[in-house]
Copies of this chain bind each other. A is one copy, B any other.
Amino acid sequence: MVEDVRLIEVKKEILADNNQIARGVRERLRRTKTLLLNLMSSPGSGKTSLILRTVERLKSTIRIGVIEADIDSTVDAEKVAAGGIPAVQLRTGGFCHLDATMVTQGLDALNAEDLDLIIIENVGNLVCPAEFDTGAHKNVMILSVPEGDDKPLKYPLMFSICDVLLINKIDYLSLSDFDMAALRKRALVLNPNIKIIEISCKTAADIGEWIAWLKQEVDVFQMKQGGS
C-alpha cells in the first residue's frame, strides 16, 4: 500500500493549499457582492438542465454567470451560452473535480465583479467534488430519482457538506421504487440543516421553491455585504 500512503500525503497537502485559495475566492467575491454557488451531482442527474431553468427564471432580475466543468467537452457551456448569459467552460483534463485554482481562472474569464450570482457546474461525481472547497458560499447537490434512495449511505460526505439537496426527476417516481421518506431521513441524519426540495427540471414542476430560495440567498448575501 506504499503508493496509497504517498497519494494520501500529497492529497492532504493539496487540500490544505486548496482551502487557503478557496478562502481567498470567498473574500474576493464578498467585496464584489457576487454569490458563488457550487452545484454537484452524479453524471446525468440534471445539473445543466437545472441551470438552464434557473437562468430562464432569474436572468431578467439578477446578473448571472456560469462556470462549467467538464473532463473533455464544451457541450454544457454552449447550451448555457445559448440561454443568453456569460458562461465559461473549464476542461479539467482528466481531473474528477474542480478546485479553487480552477474556479479562480473561471472567475477571471467571466469578469466576476459585474455579476450578482455565479453558478459552478462541477464535474459529475459524488466523491471528490465533496472534498475540494471551490470557494463557493453555498453548496447544492442534485440527486435524481433513478439513482436510488440509498445514496446518502454510500456518499455521506457529499450530503454532509451541502446546504440544499434537490431531488430531481420526480416525474420518474411513478416507475420507481424510490422511497422519498427513507431518503429524507438518511440525508437529515447526515446533515440536519440540509434543505430538501423536490423538483422536475424536465417539466419545470415545483421549481418555484428552488428559485425563491436562490433569489433570497442572493438578496441576503448582498445586504450583508453592506450598501449597494
Contact = CB atoms under 8 A, between A and B. Distances in A.
A196 interface: no
B154 A75 contact: yes
Interface string A155-198: 11100000000000101100100000000000000000000000
B71 A155 contact: yes
A27 interface: no
A73 interface: yes
Interface residues of A, number: 49
> Which 7 pairs from chain A and chain B are nearest by CB?
A44-B147, A96-B127, A146-B146, A44-B148, A73-B153, A42-B42, A42-B43
A212 interface: no
A226 B169 CA distance: 51
A151 interface: yes
Contacts of A14: 3, 6-7
A18 interface: yes
Contacts of A96: 96, 125, 127-128
Given A3-B17, A101-B4, A175-B175, A73 B42 contact: no
A70 interface: yes
A145 to B, nearest CB: 8
B101 A1 contact: yes
A123 interface: yes
A146 B125 contact: no
